[in-house]
Amino acid sequence: MNVKRGVSAIIFDKRGSSFFFLILHRIKGWEGWEFVKGKVEEGETPEEAVTREVKEEAGLKSFNIFGKLSQRREFINNGVLYSFETFLIEANMNVTVNIHDEDHDNFLWAPKDRVLDKLHWPDEKNFFLEVVATLEQKHH
């Protein structure tokens, strides 16, 4: 089976005791909300790929790779296994998000419950819940 390696960035900002997460509205291929994600290019490390994708898809210039999940998000589409490493990215939600790719047309910083309501894919919602649990443990 053909495998495509990718990275996903769950971008967050903590305000007081609340977490806010950045999601993008996708318009290419399908329509709905998702996290920043993309493929790992030839010769690129996953860390380099996620840094590039955050800059390309969200236009963020200043952010911190907070951590990486041990578990990958994997799914099969048209006979291809997509395997994503998920990174936690800390950023400032007061910094302008500049969407300048053809895949997305809008963004939203939102609390956990609103993100869960907006995310398109059920497996992404489940993955997100694990991320929130990890963040809440690390930030206490």
Report pLDDT digits (tens) over 40-93: 999 999 999 999 999 999 999 999 999 998 889 898 989 999 999 999 999 999
Query: What are the extents of the domains in the chain?
Result: 2-138
Joined tokens for residue 133: 């649990």
pLDDT tens digits along 111-129: 999 999 999 888 889 889 9
Sign of CA dihedral 17, 91, 107, 94: positive
CATH of domain 2-138: 3.90.79.10
Query: Does the CA dihedral 106-91-123-2 come out positive or negative?
Result: positive
